[in-house]
């Protein structure tokens, strides 16, 4: 049985080309890029090149708009804390109810400690931002708007460029957590109203432990980590040269594979989704069918519990993930499913399949083959299944 | 994922006694789909000897819920009701070679279902009926009786344990005060009976209520963000539907610009219908500068429009293209 990996929104395999690009920086090119001697200087040159590769991927105007961090979480935290400090007289944050914990947990902490008032904007049943509520929350008290580009669970895309323009009208800074979007959808920061953007290496075939924060030139900024002069004083700490170089290479590859991501990967995803919806009764797609990441499919299976599905999939060599409470140790379904008002009958049984350029048609075939039997088996066990409507054609999700 | 024992895995993948028991004369149902856990236990009891001749279950739940339910049926078949009634949730967990602490509530659910089924057979009222005031945790529909029994049987001494075993307190935590009260009360009884050391017993204020509550409050705030139904938008023709031509290496600039112009021309009627427009300004390598006009400019859907055009161009040209909106230069 061939292992099938469909959990790329959790993490991706490091591309072997990326590994090759990194290896010399562990051995012969070990210098500190900030040193002026030859050991360091040559590494410095490579770091500079990597920065330009990432600049290309982001469509940023200047390479020095990129600050390397240790993770997407650090980038998010830096952006939020910097904005609060850099915008005196403003102490409100606008964010959404479906953000990643890297943003939500910090916002909740800031709220709890009285450092900021936070507006959590809701979403509709497709996970789309409530634009009216967003407009209403904006005012000249808002220091920062932080909204994700793409949702990690459903893949739903927020129209961040437009949302950023609205934030500008009130003089607020705009940050986007683009950890899931970078490398999957084309991004052009030059000319946009986006001030800051976070990304994470391991979501785009670079290693873990490297992330970046884009800060548009001219944006008020306060560093999170103070110390040495690395990253032009905006993020102290010796540069993770191998990670930076790996991320640069990964960015270059992402540009090359963008077409593949938007077409072949998307087609694989669509084929998988279509086959599941056709063959398995009482399931539906969570998220915006149109404005969605090309690689993500989150499907709610009614009357069964997600962890049980995952355990069966795992045994058949298929890796996916679940928004189900039971997998995470929390007891309630994911905050995203709750914010979308996904009915309980389905929220507990949501499975996320996230593909990447590594996937091949056989991967999809394997899932299509395995999944209907798993669902049949588990539903036989379910006390709620007896009375359920078994004809997929007649099935309408309660909230549709 | 969880570190389940081999036996849990075995009972999950090959559950014994799953399904509907046609000739059941005792049924116990606990949990609800909204709580993510539910168990229906069906027993066939010999009325003469009160021996459990057969047992089957149906459950909506995770791996350990299925394994626990299955284990329970194995444990009770062949036993008399007298013997079965004293089986505890710990017996179920032990039978499976242990459960992760966070999953102990699955074994408690089995225990509760068994008690409910036995009561049902005896025509007794099972106190799972949430009479006035008995419901403690609204998030998970857990009543006082379940919590007290779980504390007593498992000698629980912290709020976290109560949550692991009953799910109560796993949500908004408004039930915190009541959980504390019950925990302190039952622990007090256990100490008095000599079943629990005094220093181990829980005292009111023993966990940082403020901390837990603040956490719960922040969570609740985040969740009560307004949810508004947005009418589904008609599918826009902007998104490309046809598969890509192969990546066109070596395409001449002229050809590229022609194709870009063509794609934009195809899109304009749709943009115009929405009161907007799009004009090609310049092409620089793979960067395509466009001028969005009218309703498209600055509207919150602008980026959707941009990504739509982008997708269309990528599909048409078979190469990565970036759309850069530029301000009106005319
Ligand atoms: S009422 Fe108990 S967790 Fe909400």
Q: B73 CB contacts (<8 Å, ≥6 apart)? A: B16, B17, B41, B55, B56, B57
* CA-based nearest distance A88→chain B, Å: 24
The answer to whether the CB of A361 falls within 8 A of the CB of A375 is no
Supply the pLDDT for residue B304.
Answer: 57
* B168 ligand 1 Cβ < 6 A: yes
Does B326 sit within 8 Å of A186, measured CB to CB? Answer: no
Buried residues in B288-300 as b, exposed as e (16+ CB within 10 A)? bbbbbeebbbebb
pLDDT digits (tens, 9 = 90+) for B74-94: 999 999 999 999 999 999 999
Q: Residue B138 CA: which ligand 1 atom is closest?
A: 1
pLDDT interval class at B257 (50, 70, 90): confident
CA torsion, points A21, A27, A33, A35, in degrees to nearest 10? -160
Cα-to-centroid distance, B154 and ligand 1 (Å): 21
Would you place residue B224 in the very low, low, confident or very high pLDDT band (cuts 50, 70, 90)? very low
> Both tokens of residue A152?
């990690």
Q: Which pLDDT belongs to residue A195?
A: 98
DSSP-derived secondary structure letter, A192 = S
Question: What are B275-330's pLDDT values in tens digits?
Answer: 778 888 888 777 788 887 765 554 445 555 666 777 777 777 766 677 776 665 44
Helix ranges (DSSP H) in chain A: 16-22, 38-58, 72-86, 101-112, 131-137, 160-169, 241-260, 266-279, 306-315, 325-328, 335-339, 344-347, 361-381
- pLDDT score for B209: 61
Q: What is the mean pLDDT of each run of 10 residues along chain A (400 residues)?
A: 93 98 96 89 94 96 97 98 96 97 96 96 95 96 98 96 95 98 95 96 98 97 95 95 98 95 95 95 92 96 92 95 66 87 88 97 97 94 71 43
List beta partners, residue A174: A145
Beta bridge partners of B324: B289
Going by C-alpha positions, the residue among A206, A132, A117, A195 that lies closest to residue A160 is A195
From the CA of B51, how many Å to the nearest CA of chain A?
25
ipTM of the complex in this document: 0.81
CA distance A138 to A130: 13
Instruction: Report pLDDT for B244.
Output: 33
Q: Quick: pLDDT tens for B43-67.
A: 999 999 999 999 999 998 888 999 9
Contact list, B19 vs chain A (CB under 8 Å):
380-381
Q: Does the CB of B210 have a partner CB in chain A at under 8 Å?
A: no
Neighboring chain A residues of B9 at a CB cutoff of 8 Å: 311
d(CA B307, CA B301): 10
Question: Annotated catalytic, B299?
Answer: no
**Is A365 an interface residue toward B (CB < 8 Å)?**
no
Domain annotation for chain B: domains and CATH numbers: 6-121 (3.90.1010.10), 135-229 (no CATH), 242-325 (3.30.300.130)
**Distances A343 to A327, B166, B204, B207, B317 between C-alpha atoms, Å:** 19, 23, 37, 34, 42
What is the whole-number distance in angstroms between the Cα of residue A180 and the centre of ligand 1? 32
| Residue B175 in contact with ligand 1 by CB distance below 6 A | yes
Nearest to A108 among B13, B222, B235 (CB): B222
Nearest CA in chain A to B105: A331
Residue of B133, B163, B171, B209 to test ligand 1 pocket, by largest number of atoms within 8 Å of CB: B171
With an 8 Å Cβ cutoff, are A311 and B301 in contact? no
d(CA A367, CA A142) in angstroms, rounded, equals 46
Q: Is the CB of B159 under 6 A from ligand 1?
A: no
Mean pLDDT of B264-277: 78
Cross-chain Cβ contact B226/A130 below 8 Å:
yes
Q: Check if the beta carbon of residue B258 is closer than 8 Å to that of residue B271.
A: no
**Picking from B109-118, B195-204, B215-224, which range would have the lowest pLDDT averaged per residue?**
B215-224
**Token pair recorded at residue B231:** 């009418």
CA-proximal residue: ligand 1, atom 2 (nearest): B137
Q: Does B10 contact chain A (CB < 8 Å)?
A: no
DSSP state for residue A23 in the 8-state scheme: G
| Of residues B66, B223, B304, nearest to A291 (C-beta) | B304
CA distance B190 to chain A (A): 28
Active-site residue, selected from the candidate residues B62, B106, B172, B278? B106
Bridge partners (DSSP) of residue A229 are: none
Residue for token digits 């074994």?
B107
Q: Cβ(B171) to ligand 1 under 6 A?
A: yes
Give B326 to chain A, closest Cα distance, Å: 7
Rounded to the nearest whole angstrom, what is the distance from the C-alpha of residue B106 to the centroid of ligand 1? 18
B214 pLDDT more than 90? no
């Amino acid at each position: 049985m061939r292992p099938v990996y469909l959990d790329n929104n959790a993490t991706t395999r490091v591309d072997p080309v990326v590994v090759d690009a990194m290896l010399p920086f562990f051995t012969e090119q070990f210098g500190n890029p900030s040193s002026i001697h030859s050991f360091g200087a040559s590494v410095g040159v490579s770091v500079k090149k990597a920065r330009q590769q990432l600049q290309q991927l982001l469509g940023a105007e200047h390479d020095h708009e990129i600050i390397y961090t240790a993770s997407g979480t650090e980038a998010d935290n830096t952006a939020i804390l910097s904005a609060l400090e850099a915008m005196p007289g403003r102490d409100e944050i606008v964010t959404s109810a479906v953000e990643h914990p890297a943003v939500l947990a910090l916002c909740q902490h800031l709220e709890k400690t009285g450092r900021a008032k936070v507006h959590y904007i809701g979403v509709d049943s497709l996970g789309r931002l409530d634009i009216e509520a967003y407009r209403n929350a904006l005012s000249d008290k808002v220091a920062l708007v932080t909204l994700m580009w793409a949702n990690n669970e459903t893949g739903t895309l927020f129209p961040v460029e437009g949302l950023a323009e609205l934030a500008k009208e009130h003089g607020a800074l705009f940050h986007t957590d683009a950890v899931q979007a970078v490398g999957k959808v084309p991004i052009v920061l030059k000319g946009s109203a986006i001030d800051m953007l976070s990304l994470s290496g391991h979501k785009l075939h670079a290693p873990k432990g490297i992330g970046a924060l884009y800060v548009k030139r001219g944006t008020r900024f306060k560093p999170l980590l103070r110390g040495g002069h690395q990253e032009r004083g905006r993020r102290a700490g010796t540069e993770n040269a191998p990670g930076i170089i790996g991320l640069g290479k990964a960015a270059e590859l992402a540009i090359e594979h963008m077409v593949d991501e938007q077409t072949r990967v998307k087609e694989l995803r669509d084929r998988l989704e279509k086959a599941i919806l056709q063959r398995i009764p009482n399931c539906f797609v969570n998220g915006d069918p149109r404005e969605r990441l090309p690689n993500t499919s989150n499907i709610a299976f009614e009357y069964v519990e997600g962890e049980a599905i995952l355990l069966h999939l795992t045994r058949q060599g298929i890796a996916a993930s679940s928004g189900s409470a039971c997998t995470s140790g929390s007891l309630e379904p994911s905050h995203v499913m709750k914010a979308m008002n996904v009915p309980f009958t389905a929220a507990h049984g949501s499975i996320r399949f996230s593909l990447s350029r590594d996937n091949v048609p056989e991967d999809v075939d394997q899932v299509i083959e395995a999944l209907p039997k798993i669902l049949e088996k588990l539903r036989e066990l379910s006390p709620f299944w007896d009375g359920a409507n078994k004809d997929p054609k007649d099935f309408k999700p309660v909230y549709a | 994922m969880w570190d389940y024992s081999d036996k849990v895995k075995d009972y999950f993948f090959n559950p014994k006694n799953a399904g509907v028991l046609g000739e059941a004369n005792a049924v116990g149902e606990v949990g609800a789909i909204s709580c993510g856990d539910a168990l229906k236990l069906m027993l066939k009891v010999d009325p003469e000897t009160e021996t459990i001749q057969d047992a089957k279950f149906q459950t909506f739940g995770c791996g350990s819920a299925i394994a626990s339910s299955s284990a329970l049926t194995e444990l009770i078949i062949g036993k008399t009701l007298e013997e079965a009634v004293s089986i505890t949730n710990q017996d179920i967990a032990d039978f499976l070679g242990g459960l992760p602490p966070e999953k102990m509530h699955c074994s408690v659910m089995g225990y509760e279902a068994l008690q409910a089924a036995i009561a049902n057979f005896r025509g007794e009222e099972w106190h799972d009926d949430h009479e006035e005031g008995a419901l403690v945790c609204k998030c998970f529909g857990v009543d006082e009786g379940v919590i007290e029994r779980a504390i007593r049987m498992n000698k629980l001494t912290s709020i976290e344990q109560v949550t692991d075993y009953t799910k109560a307190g796993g949500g908004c935590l408004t039930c915190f005060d009541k959980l504390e009260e019950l925990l302190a009360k039952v622990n007090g009884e256990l100490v008095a009976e000599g079943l629990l050391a005094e220093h181990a017993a829980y005292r009111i204020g023993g966990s940082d209520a403020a901390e837990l509550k603040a956490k719960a409050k922040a969570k609740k705030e985040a969740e009560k963000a307004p949810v508004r139904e947005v009418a589904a938008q008609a599918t826009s023709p902007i998104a490309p539907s046809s598969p890509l031509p192969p990546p066109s290496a070596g395409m001449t600039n002229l050809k590229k610009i022609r194709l870009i112009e063509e794609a934009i021309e195809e899109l304009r009627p749709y943009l115009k219908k929405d009161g907007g427009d799009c004009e090609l300004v310049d092409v620089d390598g793979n960067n395509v500068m466009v001028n969005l006009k009218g309703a498209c400019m600055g509207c919150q859907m602008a980026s959707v429009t941009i990504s739509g055009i982008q997708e269309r161009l990528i599909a048409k040209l078979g190469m990565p293209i970036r759309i850069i909106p530029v301000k009106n230069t005319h």
